[in-house]
Structure 1
Amino acid sequence: MATIKDVAKLAEVGVGTVSRSLSGNGGVSAKAQQRISQAMLQLNYRPNSFARALSTQRSNIIGVWLPSLSGSFHQHILHAIELELRRHDKHLILANAEGAGSNEACLQHLDYLIRRDCDGVLMVCPEMAVSDLLSAQASYPPLVFINHSVDLLSAESFSVDHYLGGRLAAIALLEQGHQNIACITGRLSAQDAQQRQQGFVNELARQDRPINPRLVIEGSFDFEECRAAIHQLLSSGLAFDALFCGNDKVALVALSMLQSAGIKVPQQVAVLGYDNVDFAAYASPPLSTISIPIEQMASAACRRVLNMAYDLQLTIPKVESPRFIARASTP
Structure 2
Amino acid sequence: MATIKDVAKLAGVGVGTVSRYLSGNASISQKTMDKVATAMAELNYRPNSMARSLSSKKSNIIGLWVPSFSGSFHRKMLQTIERELRKRDKHIILANAEDATTDEERIACLDYLIERDCDGILMSCPELSVIELAKIEARYPKVVFINRDIEELSQKTFSADHYQGGKLAAQHLVALGHRDIAVVSGRMSAQDAKKRHQGFVDELKLSGIEIDDDLVESGGYSFEQGALATQRLLHKDKPFTAIFCGNDNSAMAAMATLHREGLCVGEDVSVVGYDDIDISSYTSPAMTSIHVPLEEISRNACHQLLNLCYDEQLPIEHSFEPTLTIRKSTGIVRK
Q: Above 0.5 in TM-score?
A: yes
CA 1:159–1:36: 2 relative to 1, 3 Å? closer
Distance between the aligned counterparts of 1:41 and 1:297, measured in 2?
35
**Match of residue 295 from structure 2:** 295
Answering whether residue 162 of structure 2 is matched by residue 138 of structure 1, we say no
- What is the correspondence of 1:125-164 to structure 2 with a 5 Å cutoff? 125-164=125-164
Structure 2, unmatched stretches of 5+, are none
CA 1:40–1:311: 2 relative to 1, 3 Å? closer
One-letter code of the match for 2:228? A
Moved more, 172-181 or 42-51: 42-51
Deviation at 1:83, TM superposition (A): 2.4
**Match of residue 277 from structure 1:** 277
Moved more, 16-25 or 270-279: 16-25
- Paired residue secondary structure (1:297): helix
RMSD: 2.0
CA 1:39–1:321: 2 relative to 1, 3 Å? closer
1:133-154: CA deviation from partner (whole Å, max 9, x where unpaired): 1111111141110111112101
Contact 2:60-2:118 within 8 A present in 1 as well: yes
**Match of residue 268 from structure 1:** 268
- Paired residue secondary structure (1:243): strand
**Match of residue 286 from structure 1:** 286
Distance between the aligned counterparts of 1:158 and 1:104, measured in 2?
24
- Paired residue secondary structure (2:329): coil
Distance between the aligned counterparts of 2:320 and 2:237, measured in 1?
40
1:225-279: CA deviation from partner (whole Å, max 9, x where unpaired): 2221111111113211111111111111111110111001111111111111101
Deviation at 1:47, TM superposition (A): 2.1
Deviation at 1:90, TM superposition (A): 2.2
Deviation at 1:41, TM superposition (A): 5.8
- What is the correspondence of 1:24-173 to structure 2 with a 5 Å cutoff? 24-28=24-28, 33=33, 36-37=36-37, 40=40, 45-173=45-173
1:84-106: CA deviation from partner (whole Å, max 9, x where unpaired): 22333322221112112211111
Deviation at 1:46, TM superposition (A): 3.5
Distance between the aligned counterparts of 2:75 and 2:23, measured in 1?
33
Contact 1:166-1:195 within 8 A present in 2 as well: yes
Query: How many percent identity over aligned positions?
Result: 51
One-letter code of the match for 1:260? R
Distance between the aligned counterparts of 2:271 and 2:96, measured in 1?
31
Structure 1, unmatched stretches of 5+, are none
1:31-81: CA deviation from partner (whole Å, max 9, x where unpaired): 655664566567664322222112112222221111100111111211221
Distance between the aligned counterparts of 1:95 and 1:252, measured in 2?
27
Deviation at 1:8, TM superposition (A): 3.9
Contact 1:289-1:324 within 8 A present in 2 as well: yes
- Paired residue secondary structure (2:272): strand
Answering whether residue 229 of structure 2 is matched by residue 229 of structure 1, we say yes
**Match of residue 317 from structure 1:** 317
**Match of residue 174 from structure 2:** 174
TM-score calculated relative to the size of structure 1 = 0.93
Answering whether residue 183 of structure 2 is matched by residue 183 of structure 1, we say yes
TM-score calculated relative to the size of structure 2 = 0.92
**Match of residue 203 from structure 2:** 203
**Match of residue 215 from structure 2:** 215
Q: How many residues get paired? A: 331
Distance between the aligned counterparts of 1:201 and 1:324, measured in 2?
17
- Paired residue secondary structure (2:316): coil
Distance between the aligned counterparts of 2:217 and 2:25, measured in 1?
57
1:279-304: CA deviation from partner (whole Å, max 9, x where unpaired): 11111001011111111111111111
CA 1:314–1:39: 2 relative to 1, 3 Å? closer
**Match of residue 14 from structure 1:** 14
Distance between the aligned counterparts of 1:6 and 1:157, measured in 2?
45
Contact 2:158-2:318 within 8 A present in 1 as well: no
Contact 1:293-1:319 within 8 A present in 2 as well: no
